[in-house]
């Protein structure tokens, strides 16, 4: 049913408009009595729980940052069966992001190009929403992803991240430092080990006892990914999120003119699967077994999730698959994970 709806109706709408419309529905599904029905249909089974970061995740499969930028759909996403929701990316200073249009579908590749630019209402607005969520005791783990405010110079990035961490860490189950989006000028340069180490130390001090992870880019050379993974362990971080969107356009089947017309931005979706697996293996080989590794990129099916888990991922996240698989996506994955292996 959903594939037909997507082809006949949703694909005709501007992608960003469609996303916001979908989020309205998700928010409704998070409110009783709708949430009771949704949860009864989509909730993971008890045997799918995963222990990581000192937390219990109802399912190993969660929502990556970027889907719920302002922490407005957490309850609905939890009801739909996701084991955790990573909200954001949030910045200390509210910002509109890049000019529209900034989100483009590559339907033939089951992919998306975005150059959103950390559009969000800011840390203060998120604090108010997260405080309300905490009072209601949401039935899901909430991660908070933080990034650099665009108006802040790269040289002052550490103070900007610390400002966000100070406000948001007390309300987060874990905190993720995003230094890997391709849509904020100068941000990816922060991944250089000599720059990243002092930034992570400062954010870790601000985060206190909240588990801290760093989110990296897939476009780094393998040896730099290895170096960052080892740095994260040496600095006492709790995990790595591997990985963000890619600036590569290799291997796409969408017409080259259409890809060029979409322009700059990060590519997500099915084309990232192979590189995502490579990055996962590099990171897992560089960190201890107990170190949390969250794998993101090119995940659509239960078999994809199982492959990541078998390859060393502690948890798995998705985003673009929601667009192509629909609101029961997490339910399908959780049910698929329960089936015996062929």
Catalytic center residues: 181
Q: Which two tokens stand for residue 24?
A: 């309205």
Sheet holding 111-114, edge to edge: 103-106, 111-114, 266-269
User: Distance between CA atoms of 131 and 225, rounded to whole angstroms?
Assistant: 35
Which ranges constitute the DSSP H helices of 219-316? 222-234, 256-262, 273-286, 302-310
Task: Tell me phi and psi for residue 174, to 5 degrees.
Answer: -150, 160
- Beta-strand pair 266-269/111-114: antiparallel
Exposure of 122 in the CB half-sphere (CA atoms within 13 A): 11
In terms of Cα–Cα distance, which of 81, 73, 78 is closest to 43? 81
CB proximity list for 29: less than 8 A, separation 6 or greater? 35, 38, 76, 79, 80, 327
User: Distance between CA atoms of 337 and 326, rounded to whole angstroms?
Assistant: 18
Rg of the chain over all Cα atoms, to the nearest angstrom: 18
């Amino acid at each position: 049913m959903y594939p037909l709806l997507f082809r006949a109706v949703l694909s005709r709408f501007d992608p960003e408009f469609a996303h916001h419309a979908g989020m309205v529905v998700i928010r409704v599904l998070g409110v009783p009595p709708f949430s009771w029905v949704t949860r009864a249909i989509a909730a993971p089974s008890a045997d799918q729980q995963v222990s990581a970061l000192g937390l219990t995740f109802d399912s190993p499969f969660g929502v990556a940052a970027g889907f719920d930028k302002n922490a407005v759909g957490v309850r609905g996403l939890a009801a739909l069966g996701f084991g955790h929701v990573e909200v954001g990316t949030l910045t200390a200073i509210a910002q509109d992001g890049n000019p529209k249009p900034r989100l483009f579908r590559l339907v033939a590749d089951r992919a998306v190009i975005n150059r959103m630019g950390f559009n969000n209402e800011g840390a203060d607005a998120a604090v108010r929403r997260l405080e309300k969520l905490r009072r209601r005791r949401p039935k899901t783990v909430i991660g908070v992803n933080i990034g650099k405010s665009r108006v802040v110079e790269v040289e002052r990035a550490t103070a900007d991240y610390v400002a966000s961490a100070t406000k948001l860490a007390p309300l987060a189950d874990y905190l993720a430092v995003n230094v890997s989006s391709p849509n904020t000028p100068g941000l990816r340069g922060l991944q250089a080990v000599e720059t990243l180490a002092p930034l992570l130390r400062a954010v870790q001090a601000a985060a206190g006892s909240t588990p801290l992870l760093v989110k990296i880019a897939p476009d780094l050379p393998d040896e730099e990914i290895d170096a960052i993974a080892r740095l994260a362990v040496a600095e006492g971080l709790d995990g790595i999120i591997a990985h963000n969107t890619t600036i590569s356009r290799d291997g796409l089947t969408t017409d080259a003119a259409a890809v060029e017309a979409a322009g700059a931005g990060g590519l997500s979706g099915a084309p990232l699967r192979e590189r995502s697996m490579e990055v996962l293996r590099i990171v897992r080989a560089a960190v201890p077994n107990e170190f949390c590794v969250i794998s993101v990129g090119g995940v659509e099916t239960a078999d994809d999730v199982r492959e990541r888990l078998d390859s060393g991922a502690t948890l798995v996240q998705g985003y673009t698959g929601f667009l192509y698989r629909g609101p029961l996506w997490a339910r399908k994955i959780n049910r698929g994970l329960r089936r015996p292996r062929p």
